[in-house]
């Protein structure tokens, strides 16, 4: 896997490589687990599994599609079954557009760690769909990419919907609610709570929630709505902490309470986790006094717990410029 | 991003409280008919689960607002509602219920003297009603877990509107509103304090059953929906204190509410004044119209011996939860079970977050 510093951040638009015309290029960012995940009522009163993703714009996947009149080939890491499925699906989706392509080659370049809940596969899949669409000259909305990604991999994070904060039904490929245009200004110190272990998201069974939990999700959603609308990081942290605790029943993070204690001790707001992975994040209000020191102490505290840093996510460009290299784990 | 829309039916509108600021750190959830929340939730869920077929009769024991809410929802669902009530049911409420098509079945006045009082007699009559009809749905507000569950609506509203609730104060009857709302609030705000308001000689928090003047609050039987471990503190309020506070709420804040609301306001206002840095929300369950000839009538108050009685400035803190004395008493419940409190046991309060 190559590390990409120069990823094209404009998804779906033709990059430099695409000037050759006979190829397509697509990009999608990664994420750092979920801020909220559970079962929620949609507009028609139906319960759906849904989540709010914490985007990690500093990481992502890039896909290059080279058409072939003969067959398919995937270049990148060998285990990209979902990418192949997404490419075939996308090609079928755009079959109405004139093209000599019967298959093609997908080249994936990514700096997203795999199997720890940072959306590596959705990132690959969304980038692939965009690359095939790019080749066909089809403009795809973010929602359409989301719908196709779910078709390709059954459950998809909402990394492709990067222009607003959404509650995304990750098995239905639809937006249940739009909370606002952006998350409150915050800094998230990320870590891997089980370094070395990998979660197989394909084999992981969906969580079964009880009536009381479904009720709690309604309340968490209302609180999250307010947190985004009023840019209240403290309230957002309470919501993510509650959501992470509910998930302890399904994919427990043994260090969760230690991380929460560390975060609150340093003036932070709460913890978030990957609900199908091992990463966790400690959330700090970007406007909090002594933020810089708090973040550095937090990084030291994570190391003292024997956990591995995954990076620091913050309101671009400030946080990225303050802690870009120190915190990043080599991809 | 979102626009205001209409309600699909009257009962949907009735269940939404108006959230009003009474002081910088005190908000009131003012209900037209709070019991609409569990009534609507329980009946709609029953309909969705196939328990309300055509011809199924809805039967419940109630002499108050829960029956009114059922009768209203019964109109929307086009189902017959039978309400087993006290002989002393308010005449205006009776007319309203029957106008909604409900059948009001009053137990005889002689049942007042038996153990459990009217409440036991009503339950006995309800059993008979259930045997008389081929298909009966019993909402069972006292033991049906859908009662507390329905109050997720209020926890959602409070969190979206306020974001923070440090203390919730409200009257306790079935236990549904206070236990449900508090439990759901604590899913985000684990340290949220709950203060229950009861009245003397109600069995809910340890008093022996006896005559109670204050209606709509207090119970002769212990409901299954009352989870005592929810409460940090319990207050007992006399009818006279509740009436005076009800008028105060009207005179100070132009809120025309019933006497259970007055009792809750008395406690919440005292708590909010003493804890200025804490955000308190008080539940005000119904409006004052049913009490215009009583609580809002000075002649009636004078005849009953309540006029001119000053509102107590603060509660008498008691060490024994079982002793019904004074106009207003308070007890440090400490999120214990009833058995633990009666045994005098102390358990640590679950920590914050």
B127 touches chain A (CB under 8 A): no
Interface test with chain A among B2, B40, B155, B160, by most A beta carbons within 10 Å: B160
Kindly identify which residue of chain B lies nearest to residue A264, measuring between CA atoms: B353
In terms of DSSP H, where are the helices of A232-328?
233-247, 256-265, 291-304, 318-322, 324-327
Cβ of A215 within 8 Å of Cβ of B164? The answer is no
Contacts of A220 in chain B (CB under 8 A): 187-188
Residues of chain B by 3-state class (helix, strand, coil), percent to 5: 40, 15, 45
Kindly identify which residue of chain B lies nearest to residue A181, measuring between CA atoms: B1
Contacts of A242 in chain B (CB under 8 A): 187-188
Q: Cα A7 to the chain's mean position, in Å?
A: 16
In contact, B193 and B167? CB cutoff 8 Å: yes
Cβ of B163 within 8 Å of Cβ of A235? The answer is yes
Size of interface A-B (CB pairs under 8 A): 56
- What is the DSSP secondary structure assignment for residue B33, as one 8-state letter? B
How far apart CA A216 and CA A226 sit, in angstroms, is 16
A280 touches chain B (CB under 8 A): no
Residue B190 has pLDDT above 50, yes or no: yes
Question: Which pLDDT does position A2 carry in this prediction?
Answer: 34
Kindly identify which residue of chain B lies nearest to residue A232, measuring between CA atoms: B163
What are the pLDDT digits (tens) for B171-184? Answer: 999 999 999 999 99
A226 touches chain B (CB under 8 A): yes
What are the pLDDT digits (tens) for B280-295? Answer: 999 999 999 999 999 9
Contacts of A223 in chain B (CB under 8 A): 159-160, 163, 188
Question: Which pLDDT does position A104 carry in this prediction?
Answer: 81
What are the pLDDT digits (tens) for A201-221? Answer: 656 678 889 999 999 999 999
Contacts of B157 in chain A (CB under 8 A): 222
Residue B221 has pLDDT above 80, yes or no: yes
Contacts of A264 in chain B (CB under 8 A): 353
Residues 6+ apart with CB under 8 A from A327: A189, A299, A309, A311, A312
> Can you tell me which residue has the tokens 């008028």?
B247
pLDDT bucket at B1, cuts 50 / 70 / 90: low
A14 touches chain B (CB under 8 A): no
Helix (H) or strand (E) holding B246: helix B239-253
Question: Which pLDDT does position A202 carry in this prediction?
Answer: 59
Tell me the shortest Cα–Cα distance from A195 to chain B, in angstroms: 26
Contacts of B183 in chain A (CB under 8 A): 212
Tell me the shortest Cα–Cα distance from B120 to chain A, in angstroms: 31
Tokens of A22: 């006979």
- Sign of torsion over alpha carbons A216, A256, A168, A10: positive
**Strand A47-68 and strand A103-110: pairing?**
antiparallel
Residue B29, strand partner residues? B19, B283
Cβ of B156 within 8 Å of Cβ of A178? The answer is no
Residue from the list A218, A220, A232 with its beta carbon closest to the beta carbon of B163: A232
**pLDDT higher at B64 or B21:** B21
Nearest residue to A256 via CA among A270, A238, A237, A239: A270
Cβ of B156 within 8 Å of Cβ of A226? The answer is no
Residue from the list B161, B163, B188 with its beta carbon closest to the beta carbon of A242: B188
Residue B73 has pLDDT above 70, yes or no: yes
In contact, A222 and B157? CB cutoff 8 Å: yes
How far apart CA B146 and CA B137 sit, in angstroms, is 14
Residue B194 has pLDDT above 70, yes or no: yes
Could you report the predicted ipTM of this complex, rounded to two decimals? 0.90
> Can you tell me which residue has the tokens 């045994």?
B343
Indicate left, alpha or beta for A311 from its phi (over 0: left) and psi (-120 to 50: alpha).
Answer: left
Question: Which pLDDT does position A17 carry in this prediction?
Answer: 46
Question: Which pLDDT does position A19 carry in this prediction?
Answer: 45
Q: At what angle do helices A211-229 and B176-185 cross, to 10 degrees?
A: 60
A288 touches chain B (CB under 8 A): no
Contacts of B155 in chain A (CB under 8 A): 218-219, 222
Nearest residue to A58 via CA among A321, A288, A309: A321
pTM (two decimals): 0.89
What are the pLDDT digits (tens) for A216-258? Answer: 999 999 999 999 999 999 999 999 999 999 999 999 999 999 9
Cα B275 to Cα B236, B268, B318: the distances in Å are 20, 10, 20
Tokens of A321: 């410029």
B191 touches chain A (CB under 8 A): no
Cβ of B184 within 8 Å of Cβ of A227? The answer is no
In contact, B342 and B321? CB cutoff 8 Å: yes
Tokens of B66: 């829960």
CB neighbours of residue B315 within 10 Å: 21
How far apart CA B202 and CA B212 sit, in angstroms, is 7
A283 touches chain B (CB under 8 A): no
Looking at every residue in chain B, the average pLDDT score rounds to 92
Tell me the shortest Cα–Cα distance from A122 to chain B, in angstroms: 28
B13 touches chain A (CB under 8 A): no
Residue B332 has pLDDT above 50, yes or no: yes
pLDDT bucket at A164, cuts 50 / 70 / 90: very high
In contact, B176 and B146? CB cutoff 8 Å: no
In contact, B180 and B148? CB cutoff 8 Å: yes
Nearest residue to A273 via CA among A296, A312, A242: A242
Question: Which pLDDT does position A224 carry in this prediction?
Answer: 98
Kindly identify which residue of chain B lies nearest to residue A233, measuring between CA atoms: B163
Cβ of A220 within 8 Å of Cβ of B164? The answer is no
Residue A16 has pLDDT above 60, yes or no: no
pLDDT bucket at A12, cuts 50 / 70 / 90: very low
Residue B348 has pLDDT above 60, yes or no: no
């Amino acid at each position: 896997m190559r590390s990409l510093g120069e990823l094209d951040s404009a998804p779906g638009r033709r990059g430099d490589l695409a000037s050759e015309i006979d190829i397509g290029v697509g990009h999608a960012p990664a994420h750092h687990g979920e801020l909220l995940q559970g079962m929620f009522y949609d507009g028609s009163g139906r319960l759906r599994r849904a989540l709010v993703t914490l985007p990690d714009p500093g990481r992502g996947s890039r896909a290059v599609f080279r058409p072939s009149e003969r067959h398919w080939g995937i270049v990148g890491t060998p285990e990209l079954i979902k990418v192949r499925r997404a490419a075939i699906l996308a090609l079928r989706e755009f079959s109405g557009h004139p093209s000599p392509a019967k298959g093609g080659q997908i080249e994936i370049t990514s700096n997203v760690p795999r199997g720890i809940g940072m959306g590596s596969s959705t990132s690959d899949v969304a980038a692939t769909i965009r690359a095939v669409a790019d080749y066909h000259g089809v403009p795809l909305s973010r929602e359409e990419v989301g719908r196709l990604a779910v078709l390709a991999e059954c459950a998809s994070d909402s990394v492709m919907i990067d222009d607003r904060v959404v509650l995304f039904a990750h098995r239905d490929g639809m937006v249940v609610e739009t909370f606002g245009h952006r998350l409150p200004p915050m800094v998230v110190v990320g870590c891997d709570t089980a370094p070395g272990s990998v979660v197989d998201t394909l084999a992981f069974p969906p969580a079964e929630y009880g009536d009381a939990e479904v009720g709690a999700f309604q309340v968490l959603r209302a609180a999250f709505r307010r947190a985004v609308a009023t840019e209240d990081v403290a309230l957002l942290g309470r919501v993510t902490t509650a959501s992470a605790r509910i998930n302890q029943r399904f994919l427990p993070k043994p260090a969760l309470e230690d991380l929460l204690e560390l975060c609150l001790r340093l003036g932070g707001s709460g913890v978030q986790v990957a609900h199908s992975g091992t990463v966790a994040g400690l959330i700090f209000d970007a406007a909090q006094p002594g933020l810089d020191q708090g973040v550095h102490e937090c990084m030291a505290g994570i190391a003292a717990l024997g956990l591995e840093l995954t990076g620091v996510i913050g309101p671009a460009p400030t946080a990225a410029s303050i802690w870009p290299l120190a915190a990043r784990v080599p991809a | 991003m979102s626009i205001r829309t209409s309600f699909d039916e009257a009962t949907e509108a009735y269940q939404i409280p108006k959230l009003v600021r009474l002081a910088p750190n005190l908000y009131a959830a003012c209900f037209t008919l709070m019991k609409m929340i569990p009534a609507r939730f329980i009946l709609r869920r029953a309909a969705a689960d196939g328990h309300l077929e055509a011809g199924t009769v809805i039967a419940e024991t109630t002499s108050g607002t829960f029956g009114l809410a059922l009768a209203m929802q019964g109109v929307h669902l086009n189902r017959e509602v039978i309400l087993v009530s006290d002989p002393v049911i308010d005449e205006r409420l009776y007319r309203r219920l029957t106008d909604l098509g409900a059948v009001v079945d009053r137990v005889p006045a002689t049942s007042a003297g038996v153990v459990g009082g009217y409440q036991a007699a009503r339950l006995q009559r309800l059993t008979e009603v259930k045997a008389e009809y081929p298909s009966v749905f019993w909402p069972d507000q006292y033991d049906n877990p859908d009662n507390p569950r329905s109050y997720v609506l209020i926890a959602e509203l409070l969190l979206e509107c306020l974001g923070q609730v440090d203390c919730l104060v409200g009257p306790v009857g079935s236990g549904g509103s206070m236990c449900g709302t508090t439990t759901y609030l604590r899913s985000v705000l684990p340290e949220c304090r709950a203060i229950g308001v009861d009245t003397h000689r109600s069995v809910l928090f340890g008093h022996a059953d006896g005559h109670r003047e204050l209606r709509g609050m207090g119970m002769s039987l212990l409901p299954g929906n009352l989870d005592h471990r929810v409460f940090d503190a319990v207050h007992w309020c006399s009818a006279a204190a509740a009436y005076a506070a009800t008028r105060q709420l009207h005179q100070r804040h132009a809120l025309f509410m019933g006497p259970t609301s007055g009792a809750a306001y008395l406690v919440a206002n005292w708590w909010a004044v003493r804890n200025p840095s804490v955000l308190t929300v008080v539940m005000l369950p119904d409006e004052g119209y049913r009490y215009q000839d009583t609580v809002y009538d000075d002649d009636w108050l004078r005849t009953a011996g309540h006029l001119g009685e000053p509102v107590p400035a603060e509660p008498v803190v008691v060490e024994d939860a079982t002793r019904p004395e004074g106009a207003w008493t308070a007890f440090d419940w400490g999120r214990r079970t009833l058995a633990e409190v009666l045994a005098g046991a102390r358990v640590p309060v679950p920590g914050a977050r």
